[in-house]
A and B are shown apart, each in its own frame.
Chain A
Amino acid sequence: KQEVTQIPAALSVPEGENLVLNCSFTDSAIYNLQWFRQDPGKGLTSLLLIQSSQREQTSGRLNASLDKSSGRSTLYIAASQPGDSATYLCAVLIQGAQKLVFGQGTRLTINP
């Protein structure tokens, strides 16, 4: 059974810092991995999707990497801003299952 773990559960940093969020998964048989952000009481916003054959994806200040063999992904946020405060979720799409398996999320607070 695929399990997805995100560490840390919560993170608080001052504005301007670069930071890394971690995601690990137990079964490497995945189609892709997706990173989302969620603001309180809102829906999920897709940030980046990495296909299983890719190593990384970049969008603006965000960079996500994928090491399928070791079951790890990282989301790097450069020059953090208070507006980056949210919960960040990673999810893997299991091969043959049509189903996203989510981690528990990292609650990020950027302090001005």
Chain B
Amino acid sequence: DTEVTQTPKHLVMGMTNKKSLKCEQHMGHRAMYWYKQKAKKPPELMFVYSYEKLSINESVPSRFSPECPNSSLLNLHLHALQPEDSALYLCASSQDFRYEQYFGPGTRLTVT
């Protein structure tokens, strides 16, 4: 099983809302990633968790807050977002950072 799941599939939120994106994998992978993808562009790395510790933060604004409650779960907490944050948010996982990355289907986020 090489599946990464993400919920919700779609999310519409106002600029004052607080919401969370969730990602789950049961492959025993110890590295998990959040990416942001705008239309017709490649994914941009936001955060990397390695063995449940944050190892990379690509200078992401503090209105995005990642959390890794355990080795299977990754959350992205959203607060006071801007319309330009509307994008496809992708989660990925790998055995560790040197190995193949597997992506989830993404959450389509619209900020109004």
Q: A-side interface residues toward B, CB under 8 Å?
A: 31-32, 34, 36, 41-46, 49, 89, 91, 93, 98-100, 102-105
Q: What is the distance, in angstroms, from A108's C-beta to the closest C-beta of chain B?
A: 14
Q: CA A104 – CA B38 in complex, angstroms? A: 12
Q: Tell me what chain B mostly uses at the interface: helix, strand, loop, or mixed.
A: strand
Contact size range, B: 20 to 34
- Which of B42, B48, B88 contacts A98 (CB under 8 A)? B48
Q: B-side interface residues toward A, CB under 8 Å?
A: 4, 6, 31, 41-43, 45, 48, 50, 55-56, 88, 90, 92, 97-106, 108
Residues from chain A with a CB closer than 8 A to the CB of B48 are: 98-99
Q: What is the distance, in angstroms, from A5's C-beta to the closest C-beta of chain B?
A: 12
Residues from chain B with a CB closer than 8 A to the CB of A102 are: 42-43
Residues from chain A with a CB closer than 8 A to the CB of B6 are: 43
Whether B100 and A46, one on each chain, are in contact in the complex, defined by CB atoms closer than 8 angstroms, is yes
Q: CA A105 – CA B43 in complex, angstroms? A: 10
Q: CA A100 – CA B103 in complex, angstroms? A: 13
Whether A46 and B56, one on each chain, are in contact in the complex, defined by CB atoms closer than 8 angstroms, is no
- Which of A46, A91, A100, A105 contacts B102 (CB under 8 A)? A46
Q: What is the distance, in angstroms, from A62's C-beta to the closest C-beta of chain B?
A: 15
Q: A93-B97, A98-B31 are in contact. List 14 more A-B contacts (CB 8 A).
A: A31-B98, A32-B98, A41-B88, A43-B6, A43-B90, A43-B104, A44-B92, A46-B100, A46-B103, A99-B45, A99-B56, A100-B101, A103-B42, A105-B42
Whether A42 and B106, one on each chain, are in contact in the complex, defined by CB atoms closer than 8 angstroms, is yes
Of all chain B residues, the one with the shortest Cβ separation from A32 is: B98
Residues from chain A with a CB closer than 8 A to the CB of B104 are: 43
Q: Which of B31, B55, B102 has most chain A Cβ within 10 Å?
A: B102
Q: CA A49 – CA B94 in complex, angstroms? A: 12
Whether A42 and B105, one on each chain, are in contact in the complex, defined by CB atoms closer than 8 angstroms, is yes
- Which of A34, A43, A89, A100 contacts B105 (CB under 8 A)? A43
Q: Which of A34, A100, A103 has most chain B Cβ within 10 Å?
A: A100
Of all chain A residues, the one with the shortest Cβ separation from B90 is: A43
Whether A100 and B108, one on each chain, are in contact in the complex, defined by CB atoms closer than 8 angstroms, is no
